[in-house]
Structures are given as structure tokens and as C-alpha cells.
Chains A and B, each alone.
Chain A
Amino acid sequence: MRAFRILGLWFGLFALLIAPAIQAAETSRPSPADSLSPAAPPAERWRPPTALSAEDQPNDNGHGIVLDWSLSADDAQLLSYEIWMARSAAAPESAWALAGFALRGSRTYSHQNEEASLKGKPNPIFVPRGTPTFFRVRGMADDGSISGWSDVASATARGNWFHKGRINVLLACLGLAGATLYFIRAARGGRKLYIRPIPGISAVDEAIGRATEMGRPILFVLGTGTAGDIATIAGYTVLSRVARKTAEYQTSLLVPVNEPVMMAMAQETVSQAYKQAGRPDLYRPESVFYISAMQFPYVAAVNGLMMREKTATNFYMGVFHAESLLLAEAGSVSGSIQISGTDQLSQIPFFVAATDYTLIGEELYAASAYLSQEPVLMGPLKAQDLIKVVIMAILVLGVIALTFSLTASDPAGIARIVSAVVHAV
């Protein structure tokens, strides 16, 4: 009974004194929702970044602005800078949108956004073309405290008519074009141009002869690229040559393709080759046929063709992906002589391992010149070699500059190299 009285006394004390105190403390503490609500702005403790300027981003399509500013005097205390944007300088606070962040110590930020709407709503950080966009920047520390706003700066994004960052590409292309035209002219003038023998191309005639002797068909695979790929177009050149030879030797030719446009082009190539060989009667349009645009159904069909038809020679010329080894190994199992060529770096090792001859990268492009031996076609190859010599010279110069810590601002560097060479001699 006494225990109940003591318990009742405690409850009474709790109800009268402690519970109201706890309630008061609860109401004075901000709730998590309050701390996240915009009504409680973060403390503004740091000095703002200054001298904000904005200008159109160069070399773009007119949806980019570049910002520059001077660091906040409290930059070391900050975590990052927030970049906000709006459609006018006098826009209300709610109309400003966070466009991005820049780490502390950053003095510049490039904002590019081409999406006018997001999920059906206007995109607040879209940069319109030809209309001023307004920016302001503030710093933010890791505890959530912020700096004051910088001044507002504005710029109008405009589309540019020339990409200045690609001048080096333009100069390199012009140099290569000039060298190409020079060597074509030299070749037309009767100058003899030497091309080193490429075993894979030299073996083409031998491989066709083997198929003729064995009385079995030749398989020509143009890869799983598209008709617009350079490697595929180079593949047509070899196909033209192979088709002419098969017409002369009256050997069967099979060209399975994975794209209807490629099929139409391959049919035209083979048809013309048969006409040039003087045997248009031997051409069968069904020898160039479409299988599937999907990679593995195409491989399954071609592998089945190799096994059933027992093709004597397989050519793989064009763009290849994961199917390269599947095709080449199936051809190897069926006992065919195989010649491959691709510009896909990742597939070259598979072809080297699984086929008898491989045209590595640029050798595929050189095939047309090598097969035809026409001086006009050899000219570009010589131009290519010339540019390679120039690139090699640049690489050697770069190695020397790195070895001797040579920089553009160090004119004594060359003297140091010369003295090192003299000393070594």
C-alpha cells in the first residue's frame, strides 16, 4: 500500500514539474523539418566573392556562359562556390535557380545547358540563345554557413561560326591534304612510288586460287558496321577485287551482310566486278544476301554457312566487334584459309591469333592502292608516310624536351642540350 503511495507521489511530481519542463524544451528545439525549411536561411558569415563577370562561351552552339570572379577573402574557410542564375537581375529570390558548384579556390565556371524543358516544365537553368542570362555567386562552408552574394553579372550566349579549339585539326588536315595532292600529282607525272609489301594483301590471289582448285566457295564478310564506316568502304574495295577474280576463275562467292544498305552496295560492287571481268552471266544477285541486323543471329548464320558450305577461303574486311573471334575460330575449325582486316583496335589481337593473315588498321585502307598498283591511289599512301615522319620527329622532340626539362620559358634549355651532347661526344 505504501509503495503505491510513493509511486503516486512520483507520478504527481512528474505531471506537475518534469513533464511541463520537457514539453517546453521540446517546443524550443527546432524540428528536423524546420531546419530544412527555407524559412530558416543559413547563417551568412563569410565575405562574398567579388568582381563577377560573365561572357559568352567560345566555340559552342550558343548555350554556354563562362563566369569569372575574384575569390572571397574567406576562401580558405569555404567548401565551394554556388552559382545561381535567373532571367533578370531584378528577379525575385524564388526565381533564382542553382546552376552548379565550383570548388573553393576556383575562379571560373562554365555553365552550358541546351535543354529548354525538363519533364514538360521549363528548365530554370537552361541558357537561351540571344537573350541575356543573369548570374550571381556565393560561397558555402562545410557547416552550411554561407557568404554574401557577389554582384550580379550577365551575358548573352551566341552560336559561334568557327571552333577555334580545332585549328590544330584543321592545320593537320590541310597539311595532309596538301601532301596528298602533291604526291598524286607526282604519281601522275610518272614518279615511281614504292609501297612495302603487305603479306595479307599479297595472299589474296593465292587464297582465291586455293578455293578454285578445291572447287569450294569463297566467303566474304563485311563486318557488323554500317555502310558509312570507312573500314566497310575499304572492305568494298577488296570485295571488288575478289569478285573480279572469282568471275575470272568461275568460283562461287558468298557475301552475307547485316544491313540492307550494305547489301545493296555489295550487290552493285559484285555485279560491276563481274561485268569488268567480262562474265556478267555468272553473277547471281542471291550470292549477296541479308541475314540479320542483330550481331549474334548474324554470327550464327555465317558460322553455319561456313560449316555447311565448307568454304575454302574466308575474308573478314570491315568493322568487327565481339563476333570477330566467333567467326574466325569457326572458319579455322572448318579448315578455311582466312584473311582479315579491321581498324578496330580491340579486335586486331583476335584476328591475329585466329586467322592466317591480318591487315592491321591502316593496311586495310592501303589495300585498294596495293591491289590496283595505280599511281594515283598510291599518292595518298606516300602522303600518309610523310605525315608519320613528321609525327615521329615531334615525338622525338617531345622526348628530348621532357628529358632535359625544356620549357618554352627556358631559352637556356637548348644550350643545355647542346652542351650535354658535346659533353657526351
Chain B
Amino acid sequence: MKRQIPIALVFVAGLLLVIQFFVPHPASEFFFTFATDWIIVIGILALPIGIFSLLRNTYMKGRSDSKERIYSIATFAGFFLMVVSGLPSGSREAGSLHMKFFQNLLVPAQATLFSMLAFYIASAAYRAFRMRTLLAGVLLITAFVVMLRLIPLPEPLSTWNSELVRWILAVPNMAAKRAIIIGVALGAITYSMKILLGIETAYMGRD
């Protein structure tokens, strides 16, 4: 029973949502909105579990490892600073203490991390373009041709290069992308069917 009820729930809920996709009637819309609202409600109810996990792990690390203690203190300080500054009414308005922390601490920190992507792309490109095999050589030459488009070349090289790049992007590149997209779509449908039919239960912690 403990095994069958969750599978039955998944089957019924999944089947109803599949049917909903083909029914544009307001009743069907209401059902969809109702179901997605419940997802939000469940997410909010689960949030305290996540916060508890974060605080417990941070505390345990800080307690057991002296090297980690400073990070644990920083995490606790950041957490309580944002929670306490966010409690008063109007804390989400521009100029409030909470928004000052958000705009002047969190946003720059996120931007810094995101900008590291530029350096990581360079190092990943270096590894990807090492010409060890024939295919890697093809990749290298193709990438070189595509990147040349961004450089002002003299005529008629510029026109030839633009035409070649347009063809590379519109034909072989697009063909590969569409092959992946079709594969992903078919895979998602069959995987969903496995879940609906109760064949795939690993996400419930079962084999």
C-alpha cells in the first residue's frame, strides 16, 4: 500500500495534466492554475526545512572545523542581517537598509562571480580547441572561421566569410541542434510515460 498509493497519485495527477494540455476550456485552465498554485504552496512550506538544513550544517561545520569557522560566522551574520533588516514594513522599498544590503553587497558579489565566466570560457576554449583528433581539428577550424566574422576583414574576404559563417550556422549547426532537440523531446515524453506508468520510481528512492 505504501508503494502503490504514491504511484497511483502520480498516475492520476500526471494523466489529468496531460488531458489538460488538450482542453482549452476555462475549467481546464482553472485546474492548471490550481495545480501550479499548489506547487508554489508546497515550495513555501518546504522552505523552513531548507533554512534549517543550511543553519544546522553551517553550525556543525563551524563547530567541528576551526578553519571553516570564519565562513560559518559570515554565513550566520549574512543570514540574520538580511532577515532582520527585511522584517520592518517598507523594507523592500528603494533606500531601505535591506535594499542597501541587497544592492551594495549581494548584487556586486553576484556580478563578480558571473564575470568570472569570461575567464572560464577562455580556459575551456583552450582545452576544447586542442587539435588532438581529426574532429577536434574540424572544430578548431570552424570556430576560427566563425570568430573571424567579428574582425573587420578587407573585401572580398569579408563577404565570403560572412556567407560561409551564415551557412555554418544555418545548416550544419542548426541540423545538430535540431537533432538534439528532437531527441530531448522524445526522451522527455518516454521518460514521462515511464513515470506515469510507475516503471520509473528511482526519484521516489526506489529501484
B24 x A291 contact (CB < 8 A): no
Residues 164 to 207 of chain B near chain A (Cβ within 8 Å): 177, 180-184, 186-195, 199-200, 202-207
The yes or no answer to A163 lying at the interface (CB within 8 A) is yes
The yes or no answer to A230 lying at the interface (CB within 8 A) is yes
A387 x B202 contact (CB < 8 A): no
Chain A residues whose CB sits within 8 angstroms of the CB of B21 once the complex forms = 166, 169
Proximity bits, A274-299, B CB within 8 Å = 1, else 0? 00100000000010011111111101
Q: How large is the interface on A (under 10, 10 to 19, 20 to 34, 35 or more residues)?
A: 35 or more
The yes or no answer to A4 lying at the interface (CB within 8 A) is no
List the one stretch of A58-66, A88-96, A98-106, A136-144 in contact with chain B. A58-66
In the complex, 16 of the A-B residue pairs with CB atoms within 8 angstroms, ordered by the A residue number, are A61-B24, A159-B24, A160-B25, A161-B23, A162-B23, A163-B22, A233-B203, A234-B191, A236-B202, A265-B203, A293-B50, A300-B109, A304-B71, A329-B124, A372-B207, A388-B183
A159 x B26 contact (CB < 8 A): yes
Chain B residues whose CB sits within 8 angstroms of the CB of A362 once the complex forms = 183-184, 186-187
Chain A residues whose CB sits within 8 angstroms of the CB of B189 once the complex forms = 173, 176
The yes or no answer to A127 lying at the interface (CB within 8 A) is no
- Distance to closest chain B CB from A401 (angstroms): 18
Chain B residues whose CB sits within 8 angstroms of the CB of A62 once the complex forms = 25-26
Residues 35 to 60 of chain B near chain A (Cβ within 8 Å): 39, 42-43, 46-51, 53-54, 56-57, 60
A273 x B205 contact (CB < 8 A): yes
List the one stretch of B83-91, B93-101, B114-122 in contact with chain A. B114-122
List the one stretch of A44-52, A146-154, A346-354 in contact with chain B. A346-354
B46 x A264 contact (CB < 8 A): yes
Bound complex: CA of A177 vs CA of B47, how far in Å?
37
The yes or no answer to B123 lying at the interface (CB within 8 A) is yes
The yes or no answer to A54 lying at the interface (CB within 8 A) is no
B128 x A353 contact (CB < 8 A): yes
Chain A residues whose CB sits within 8 angstroms of the CB of B187 once the complex forms = 343, 361-362, 364-366, 384
Mostly, the A contact residues are: helix
Chain B residues whose CB sits within 8 angstroms of the CB of A300 once the complex forms = 109, 113
Bound complex: CA of A299 vs CA of B191, how far in Å?
28
Residues 226 to 251 of chain A near chain B (Cβ within 8 Å): 228, 230, 233-234, 236-237, 240-241
The yes or no answer to A86 lying at the interface (CB within 8 A) is no
Bound complex: CA of A384 vs CA of B184, how far in Å?
10
The yes or no answer to A170 lying at the interface (CB within 8 A) is yes
Proximity bits, B71-90, A CB within 8 Å = 1, else 0? 10000000000000000000
- Distance to closest chain A CB from B127 (angstroms): 6
The yes or no answer to B110 lying at the interface (CB within 8 A) is yes
Task: Identify which of B46, B60, B202, B205 contacts A286 (C-beta below 8 A).
Answer: B60
The yes or no answer to B29 lying at the interface (CB within 8 A) is yes
B188 x A260 contact (CB < 8 A): no
The yes or no answer to A180 lying at the interface (CB within 8 A) is yes
Task: Identify which of A230, A296, A297, A376 contacts B192 (C-beta below 8 A).
Answer: A230
The yes or no answer to A325 lying at the interface (CB within 8 A) is yes
B47 x A260 contact (CB < 8 A): yes
Could you list 11 further interchain pairs (A-B, Cβ under 8 angstroms) beyond the known A62-B26, A289-B57?
A61-B26, A61-B29, A173-B189, A176-B190, A268-B205, A291-B54, A322-B114, A322-B117, A329-B124, A361-B180, A383-B190
Knowing A233-B195, A365-B187, the reply to whether A353 touches B125 (Cβ < 8 A) is: yes
A271 x B205 contact (CB < 8 A): yes
Q: Which of A234, A241, A271 has the most CB of B within 10 A?
A: A234
A268 x B204 contact (CB < 8 A): yes
B193 x A177 contact (CB < 8 A): yes
Mostly, the B contact residues are: helix
Chain A residues whose CB sits within 8 angstroms of the CB of B56 once the complex forms = 286
- Distance to closest chain B CB from A28 (angstroms): 53
Bound complex: CA of A325 vs CA of B48, how far in Å?
30
| Residue in chain A with minimal CB distance to B67 | A308
The yes or no answer to A306 lying at the interface (CB within 8 A) is no
Chain A residues whose CB sits within 8 angstroms of the CB of B68 once the complex forms = 308
B124 x A60 contact (CB < 8 A): no
Bound complex: CA of A161 vs CA of B127, how far in Å?
55
The yes or no answer to A67 lying at the interface (CB within 8 A) is no
- Distance to closest chain B CB from A289 (angstroms): 5
| Residue in chain A with minimal CB distance to B185 | A362
Chain B residues whose CB sits within 8 angstroms of the CB of A169 once the complex forms = 21-22
Chain B residues whose CB sits within 8 angstroms of the CB of A343 once the complex forms = 184, 187-188
Residues 115 to 166 of chain B near chain A (Cβ within 8 Å): 116-117, 120-121, 123-125, 127-128
Bound complex: CA of A292 vs CA of B184, how far in Å?
28
The yes or no answer to A184 lying at the interface (CB within 8 A) is yes
The yes or no answer to A263 lying at the interface (CB within 8 A) is yes
Proximity bits, A359-396, B CB within 8 Å = 1, else 0? 01110111010001000110011011001100100000
B53 x A289 contact (CB < 8 A): yes
Chain B residues whose CB sits within 8 angstroms of the CB of A368 once the complex forms = 194, 200, 202
A388 x B110 contact (CB < 8 A): no
Chain B residues whose CB sits within 8 angstroms of the CB of A75 once the complex forms = none
Chain B residues whose CB sits within 8 angstroms of the CB of A299 once the complex forms = 113
B183 x A325 contact (CB < 8 A): no
Chain A residues whose CB sits within 8 angstroms of the CB of B109 once the complex forms = 296-297, 300
Bound complex: CA of A161 vs CA of B27, how far in Å?
9
B24 x A326 contact (CB < 8 A): no
A384 x B177 contact (CB < 8 A): no
Bound complex: CA of A260 vs CA of B52, how far in Å?
10
- Distance to closest chain A CB from B65 (angstroms): 9
Chain A residues whose CB sits within 8 angstroms of the CB of B60 once the complex forms = 286
B46 x A260 contact (CB < 8 A): yes
